Amino acid sequence: MALFERPPLETLAPAKDRWTPLFLEHGRLEVDDSSVMWIGSDGLLCRLPVATVSALILGPGTTVTHAAIKACAESNTIVCWTGADCLRFYAFGLSPNHSNDMPRLHAEAWADKRRRTQIARAMFKMRFPDGEVEGKSVKELRGMEGLRVRTFYAQLGLQHGVTWKGRNYDRNNWDTADDINRALSTANSSLYALCAAVCCSLGYLPSLGFVHDSGTLPFIYDVADLYKHLTSIPAAFLAVRQDPKDDGELVRKLFKQRVEEERIFQRMPKDLAALLQTAEAMPVQAGARPASAL
């Protein structure tokens, strides 16, 4: 097969079967000998199986060739750009999906105000099964969420012996944040990149959120919130307990472990399909339409 020939749809791994994202910094991503190659600033050479990776997360000091991006796009592999230590999530490259069914179904659900509220309630219920959501507005759900999340932070602080004074940090003056807030931001940025990779590869629309409604990635924040209590938040508290001065490497490692233990890649496509009442999203033959309860 020629390097840039689109692979057959049935050969592309669906999001649920792909590996966790690869974080790369200080090096060059290019194509060499019909494969994507990572050339690190330390001389490390590594061929990347981009067709089986959920996302490539590029940190500072990385350059990438047009050929490498094209190879990733044709493998339906998202490329994300983040700041130092993955503390800021800047952008992602939208890969071509194989049909427009899922974005159309997503847009239809979002455009119906009644369904939009129902999906927001279902998202809250997924996180807090004992919560009473019937008749609650999205604004009321946000208030209920804030109270429960603050309680969860406090409980983890006591459990791990980490001083918790609240979620507080200044993006323009990062050094003023305490250890746990820096760890949380690092882990959450990784989670946002992961969710962006899965959502975009499945065809969902990052800009159309059901609970969040501002910024450019409200749906990504909606989805990330479904899994923070399982992944990024416990990873951050555990990292600070083990090494309060962690530079980000430990918390990313612990976050990756949590993602694998909780089988997030296997769960997310099914969870999203259940929330939006669609068939489980995956690459489909051109023209095929997933079953829908709409």
CA 131 from chain centre, in angstroms, equals 25
Q: Tokens at residue 52, please?
A: 């089986």
Give 9-93's CATH code, choosing from 3.40.640.10, 3.90.1010.10, 3.100.10.20, 3.40.50.150: 3.100.10.20
This prediction has a pTM of 0.72
Domain layout of the chain by residue ranges: 9-93, 101-276
| Calpha distance 43→293 (Å, rounded) | 53
The rounded average pLDDT for each run of 10 residues, N- to C-terminus, in the chain (294 residues) is: 46 67 90 88 89 85 93 84 70 66 92 94 90 87 88 91 81 72 89 84 89 90 95 95 90 92 90 84 36 33
Strand order of the β-sheet with 89-93 is 22-24, 55-58, 78-82, 89-93
- What's the pLDDT at 16? 65
Look up the CATH architecture of domain 101-276. Answer: Up-down Bundle (1.20)
Interatomic CA distance for residues 280 and 216, integer angstroms? 25
